């Protein structure tokens, strides 16, 4: 993972049911399972700065995902160095996967018209299936890479 910009997704795993208050959005019930949050890192430091911050899970609760991150484990990160902002396309693609549900409308989607940039699954979604669907709709989409949390953990103190 480099300082190049692009779109990313966090694969978060919740092991127990809890209720979380998500900033001004309201309460969300977190069920055991997987949550995929899509964001973009086009600011200074690109993917590395943004993902390392999410990976550590510390700091102020600034984005909606920070509230969820505090009660989940990070399993993996998907990312692309595609120059285009792909986060809304990723979010739509995830919502269309079998078994997907939107746990809280508006989550991570304050700046766009998406239903949400967070999708929940009972079973971990496959990157290969999602990448194939994205490439079908966007033939010029750059490759999507996966980095496991264990790899991030070796570099930093990630829980």
Cα 136 from chain centre: 21
Of 24-32, 62-70, 80-88, 96-104, the window that binds Zn ion (rule: CB under 5 A) is 80-88
- Considering the complex, state which of residue 93 and residue 114 has its C-beta at the smaller distance from Zn ion: 114
Residues facing 36 on adjacent strands: 11, 119
What does 85-108 look like in DSSP terms, one character per residue? --HHHHHHHHHTSTT-B-SSTTTT
Please tell me whether residue 88 binds Zn ion under the rule CB under 5 A: yes
Look up residue 108 and give its two tokens: 């991570």
Q: Given the structure tokens 């977190």, which residue do they identify?
A: 30
Please tell me whether residue 94 binds Zn ion under the rule CB under 5 A: no
- Considering the complex, state which of residue 22 and residue 109 has its C-beta at the smaller distance from Zn ion: 109
Residue 90 CB, nearest approach to Zn ion (Å):
9
Of 23-31, 66-74, 86-94, 97-105, the window that binds Zn ion (rule: CB under 5 A) is 86-94
């Amino acid at each position: 993972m480099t300082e190049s910009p692009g779109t990313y997704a966090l694969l978060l795993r919740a092991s127990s049911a809890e209720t979380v208050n998500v900033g001004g959005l309201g309460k969300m019930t977190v069920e055991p399972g997987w949550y995929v949050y899509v964001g973009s890192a086009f600011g200074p430091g690109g993917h590395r700065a943004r993902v390392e911050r999410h990976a550590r899970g510390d700091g102020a609760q600034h984005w909606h995902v920070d509230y969820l991150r505090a009660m989940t484990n990070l399993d993996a990160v998907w990312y692309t160095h595609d120059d285009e902002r792909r986060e809304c396309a990723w979010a739509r693609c995830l919502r269309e996967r079998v078994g997907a549900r939107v746990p809280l409308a508006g989550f991570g989607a304050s700046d766009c018209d998406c239903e949400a940039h967070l999708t929940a699954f009972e079973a971990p979604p496959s990157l290969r299936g999602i990448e194939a669907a994205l490439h079908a709709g966007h033939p010029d989409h750059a490759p999507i890479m996966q980095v496991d949390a264990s790899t991030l953990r070796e570099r930093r103190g990630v829980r």
